[in-house]
Structure 1
Amino acid sequence: MSVAPPVPRLPSLNALRAFEASARLGGFSQAAQELNVLPGAVAALVKKLEEDIGAPLFERRARGVRLTPLGERALPGFVAVFDSLGQTVRDLRREAAPRKVHIAALPALAELWLAPRLPAVRAKHPDMDISVTALEVPPNLKRVPFDLCLFYADASDRGATVISSDELLPVCTPEIAATLKSPMDLDKVTCLTDSAWSDDWRIWASRSVNGWEFVPKGPVYSLYSLAVQEALSGAGVLMAHRSLIEEHLRSGDLVAPFAMSVRLERPMSLWSLPGGRGNKAVDDVTLELKRLATLND
C-alpha cells in the first residue's frame, strides 16, 4: 500500500509579509503603517512565524527590534519574492485596466493645483480613469499602488519633471491690503498659517526684510485650502504659495500687499513610480499636466 508523502505546510502569507516589511523597514510600527494594520498585529504575526520555523527572527529590545543573524540571511530572499509578486500584480492590473492612472499628491497640490486641471486632462483623454490620493509625504516603496507622484521635491534626486517653480508671498483681500503700508505692519494684523508649512512666514520675512525674525500671530490650519478660504473671506493675511492661489490673484479676490516674494527651494515636481514606468497612460497624463502647467507660465 503506497503512502503519499506529506505536503509541506507553508507559513501564513500574512505572517511572511509582516516579517518582510518589518525587516525591510526596521520595525513593527513602520511595517504596520505600510500594511495598514496595528503594530500589535504585525508583532503577533511575526511571533507566529517564529513559532512555525522554530527560531527567532528578531531580537526584541526596549528601543525596538533588530534582526537576528537568521533573519538577516532570510531577508534578501523575501524582499526579492515580494518585489516579484508586486510587479506581477501591477502587470496584471495594467493589462486589465490599461488606461487607469493613480496619482499620489501633497494635499494642497491635489486640491488647489491638480483638481482644477483634471477636467482638461479627461477632456483630452476621455477614456482615462484617473484617481488621486492625498499624502503628506511622497511614497517611495516599490509596492505602492501609485503610478505618479506630485510633490514639492528636488527633481534631480528622483528623475522627476519640474512642473512649476513656486514662490512665497503674503496675500490678503484688497480691503486688508489697503491698511498695510510696509511689512512691519504685519505685526498689527491677523496672520494665517498652514501647519505643514509653518516655517514659511519665517523664510519669507528673513529673506525679504534683512533677517527680520517675524513671528506671525493668528490661527493655524491643518488644511491649506481652508487657510486660502479664510484669506478670501477677509480673516487675515496668508503666507501663500503663488502657484496655488494664482487664479485668485488674477481675479483680484486676493492681492499681494508687498512687492517682495521668495522663491521656494524645491519646485513642484512630477515623477513616475515603478508601477507607472513604461505605461502609455501615465506618459499621456504626464505630458498633459506639463502642457497645462506651461499655460500659466
Structure 2
Amino acid sequence: MAVSPPHPRSPPLNALRAFEAAARLGGFKAAATELSVTPGAVTAHIKTLERHLGADLFERHAQGVRLTSLGARVVAPLSEAFDQLAHAVGLMRAQAQPHSVHLATLPAIAQLWLLPRLPQLREKLPDISISVTALEQPTDLKRSPYDLNLFFSDRGEGSILCEDIIFPVCAPSLAHHLKRLSDLSEIACLTDAVWANDWADWLQHAQRADRQPTPAIQIRGPTFSLYALALDEALAGSAVLVAHACLVQPWLDSGQLVAPFGTPLKRPTPLRAWSAFTPPPGSPSLRVLQALQSLSESRTAAS
C-alpha cells in the first residue's frame, strides 16, 4: 500500500498577516489597530510564527522592535502576496455583489456631509446599494471590504468634493461677546478629538493676518469624540467651535451659526473620495464617485 509522505505544516495565516502588518507599519501597536486586535494578540501571533520558523523576525528593544535580516528580506514578497490575495477577494466580492458599494468615512463626514446627500445619491443610483461605515482613519482599501474612502486628505488622488476651510463659529447670541481674538480666553472653546489642532492652527493663521500684537490666548473647553455633539453645543449658544465649512454650511446659511472673526484658513486637506484602483467605466464605484462629485458641485453652485 502506498504511503503518503508527510507534508510540512504551513505557518498560520493569521500569524503571517500579523507579521506583515507589523513589519509594514513599523510596530505591533499599529498592526493591532489595522487588524482590529490587541497588541498582545499581534505579539502572540508573531511569536507563533517565529517558533514555526525556528528563527527571529524581530529584534526586541526597550525603544520598540526592529526587523532582523530575515524579517527584512521577506516583507516585500509577503506584502505583495497579501495584496494579490486581497485583490482576488475583492474581485469575488464584486462578482458576488455586483450592485453594491461600501463607503468608509469619518463619523463627522457621515453625519453632516454624506447623510443629507444620501437621498439624492440613491435617487440618482436606484440600482446600487450604498452602505456606509464610520471610521476614524482612512482604511487600506486593498486590504479591507470597503470600495471607497471619503475623508479629508492630502493624498493627491481621487475626486475632490470640497475644500477644507476652517474658522470659529458660534450662535448669534454669543457673537457679541467676541470682539477681539483675546475674548476667546473668556469663553468655552470646543475641541474635536480628531481635529485636536484646529484651534492652534486657526489662531496662528488669524494672529498672522491681524498683524497686531495679540496677548497670549488660552483656549479652554471640553473635547468631544464626535464632532456632531460639539456642533450641537455650539448651536445651543454655550460655546465656540472651529467649523469645517463644508460640514456646517447649512447652519451658516440659516443664520443659526455665525463666524464672529472671519479669517478663514484653507487647509491642504480637501474632502476627497477615492478607491484602491481606477474603477472601470460603468462600475458601481465609479458611478458613486461621479454622483458624489455632481452633488457636491451642485450644492457649491447653489450656495
In the alignment, is residue 256 of structure 1 matched against residue 259 of structure 2?
yes
Shift of 1:172: 1.8
- C-alpha distance in structure 2 between counterparts of 1:185 and 1:76, whole Å: 54
Question: Which of 229, 232, 241 does residue 229 from structure 1 map onto?
Answer: 232
- 2:191 and 2:230 in contact (8 A); partners too: yes
User: 1:37-89, CA deviations, whole angstroms, 9 ceiling, x for partnerless residues?
Assistant: 22222222222222223222222222232222223333333222222111111
Shift of 1:127: 2.3
For residues 186 and 43 of structure 1, the distance between their equivalents in structure 2, rounded to whole angstroms, comes to 46
- What's the counterpart of residue 287 of structure 1? 290
- Which residue number corresponds to residue 277 of structure 1? 279
For 1:266, what is the secondary structure of its paired residue?
Answer: strand
TM-score (norm 2): 0.87
What do the CA deviations read for 1:186-217 (whole angstroms, capped 9, x no partner)? Answer: 34433323233233233333333237453323
In the alignment, structure 1 residue 64 sits paired with structure 2 residue 70: no
Q: CA RMSD in A?
A: 2.3
Report the secondary structure of 2:256's partner residue.
Answer: coil
Secondary structure in 2 matching 1:265:
strand
1:152 maps to what in 2? 152
- Relative to structure 1, the CA distance from residue 32 to residue 258 in structure 2 (aligned partners, 3 Å threshold; closer, same or farther) is closer
- Quote the Cα distance in structure 1 between the aligned partners of 2:36 and 2:91: 23
State the Cα distance separating 1:109 from its structure 2 match.
Answer: 1.4
- Kindly state the Cα deviation for residue 179 of structure 1 after the two structures are TM-superposed: 4.1
- Aligned match of 1:201: 199
The letter of the residue matching 1:232 is L
Structure 1 segment 155-234 matched on structure 2, within 5 A: 157-208=155-206, 209-210=210-211, 212=214, 213-234=216-237
Taking structure 1 as reference, are residues 169 and 189 closer, same or farther at Cα in structure 2, changes over 3 Å only? same
Describe the superposition over 1:234-280 as per-residue Cα deviations: whole angstroms up to 9, x where unpaired.
Answer: 11222212111111111222222344323233222222124x73371
Matches within 5 A, 1:65-80: 65-80=65-80
Which ranges of structure 1 fall in alignment gaps of 5 or more residues?
Answer: none
% identical equivalent positions: 48
The AA in structure 2 aligned to 1:29 is K
CA 1:36/1:251 → structure 2, altered by over 3 Å: closer, same or farther?
same
TM-score by length of 1: 0.88
Structure 1 position 241 matched with structure 2 position 244: yes
CA distance in 1, matches of 2:258, 2:204: 21
CA deviations 1:105-134 (Å, max 9, x no partner) are: 222212211121112111111222222222
Change (3 A) 1:2 1:104: closer
Contact 1:169 1:261 in 2 (8 A): yes
Aligned with 2:273: secondary structure? strand
Alignment of 1:39-54 (within 5 A): 39-54=39-54
3-state SS of 1:65 partner: strand
Letter in 2 for 1:295: S
User: Structure 1 residues 166, 78: closer, same or farther in 2, change over 3 A?
Assistant: closer
